[in-house]
Structure 1
């Protein structure tokens, strides 16, 4: 049986069925399949990936803090998934276009997001989040799996235009059970669309473990649609980087879609509205802490003499500075007047819209009198 058709059991755990380059202790493992795709990633480049992951974790913790302090309506943490996001996103070409879910803060960071871009949507401010054309990233999608359809439609447009780019979409393990994701793979395969599907298997779809959805690796579903797939250790930034390069090479060369499953773990809650202690075993969480994606890169760099305490401290100081910028941007945002929600809905005002505006104004005035 191949790794994609081997049941996940105690004898064949998730990590035993994944491709990797960096082991949990930071040591490098030869991988004939993946090594060619990261042959040019020297220690300096790996230090850059480490820096990105440290910054991402700090941004993520600041987002949680801002939500807890009432500055954001919600936040979707990505603690533990730094390698899965930074590795894949840094491998992209500037011309490629990304269609994310709601958890891809690291993809936004890698694509050049500014401080306010990380919080604008979660604060509910005007302008949604960022300029999709500037970052080459579509708006973060709350509807589970819907972004996969958007990505395939865009990829079919790439074919129509004869452009040399690839559409990339991210989704979680829970989304693989949604019809949208499966329908997207049908269309992508049928039309040979240049799209890469990235499944971040973080083991929990809110409170439901991935084992309830599938006893087999999720990467095994893609070949059923005629899409080649690769299953990698999502806590290994070199493996995720290599996997994305493999997938992009496949899609950009006209061979159609590719699928990556990054096996990682959500260390925090599903969102800040969730309490994972109600459904998750602390021992499981602790076992994944020992596989931390940032620690393993740091261990590798230290063993190679490519980083020391001084440089690590400087990176963390940089991360703190970016977090302060993010907080300042959030607190400095001016929320427009509630009735402004009716502005710009239509080119010309009409009686129906004016009636709604009056009714909403009356509703708001009731609170002013209290």
Structure 2
């Protein structure tokens, strides 16, 4: 639904009448980077109190009554891992608000198209990092496209200029399951190409990955998936990755941001252990599972059927999936007697994911699921 100029003028005048300082515009500008924001983020970005924000949102709702809204409340429950109690209300930028922003000179303003809670949660986490950088007085660009190699593009969540002048990539991620392994690997290959280009030499080779997760079981499982992905790409590159990936829970970072270059290694988790690259083979990189580590010399070779029916690229991905499967299955060896365990369903999902890549052609997805079998 479009908004005509006369109606925009009426809305702007109605807002200015009770808000000559222009707080309504500052509130709308909070949505420019990601299209979504919660009330706490709006407070941080505008400097307004919670009461002032709520009153201004209500005033904006009344001013746009009968036409396209300026912002819309997200009705779906947005996941907030590690956040206790009821979270702040989340809003997305609507057509009316985008039109007002364009009229104010923000030609790139568009209404938010996010509907699923998971990408909304990612957008909120990305905005959190941006606001932290702005609070520290650091220049930050959110979802800026970095061109390299004659037309290829990398779009990091946040590109931040650190206090020493170094430009660094800050990525925000959520919980990862083995089914996402292929997507993660593709993203890492993209970064390999970028950091090998001349444009990549202008950016810090340390990529900070902030996971919207507290430390715990889900954190460990997610890091395991990422470690498999990094190891797979490192194997393809013969151990010579042009960057390194460091991880930290988003909550810990926001409590005490680390803007140093290089970062304080003691606070970050390295997603690639160099020791794992010596004679790398699937099965040699397994961490301790249920208190027991897999033997260093024992290689978790792919079953012959998987190796025979897979291309080289698929074999690398299946090898990583196979290793995660072995670790998950090892959890069942803790007792001679089976008992209800949600890990069982994760293992079943892993088996299914081996032959049901959502990016695969329909004919391949419809074929006999050899990898799963």
Q: TM-score range by the shorter chain?
A: under 0.3
Bigger RCO of structures 1 and 2 (CA < 8 A, at least 6 apart)? 1
Which is richer in helix?
1
TM-score, structure 2 normalization:
0.26
TM-score, structure 1 normalization:
0.26
Highest Rg: 1 or 2?
A: 2
